[in-house]
Amino acid sequence: MLGAPMASSNEPGSGPREVFFELTRLGSSVKVVAIDGATGTEVSVVGPANAAQSDLERLALSKLRARLARGG
């Protein structure tokens, strides 16, 4: 798992948040879980194993931001 700061859009002035990524290979696919360190909220995405890790993490981070923006 890797941690990365994320600017919070739902809590003004709270500063960057820590996000953890978990990657699990499932045959020809990869499951990426993004977890918000402050709330424990998690989301997952699945993509092809040959996709760039940064692209899959960016997709999971976008999904996590959307989930947090709508309240968890």
Torsion, CA 55, CA 43, CA 62, CA 30, rounded to 10: 10
Residues 54 and 30 sit within 8 Å (Cβ to Cβ): no
Residues 3 and 20 sit within 8 Å (Cβ to Cβ): yes
Predicted TM-score of the model (pTM)? 0.78
Domain edges within the chain: 2-69
Q: What is the pLDDT of residues 22-70, one digit of tens each?
A: 999 999 999 999 999 999 999 999 999 999 999 999 999 999 999 999 9
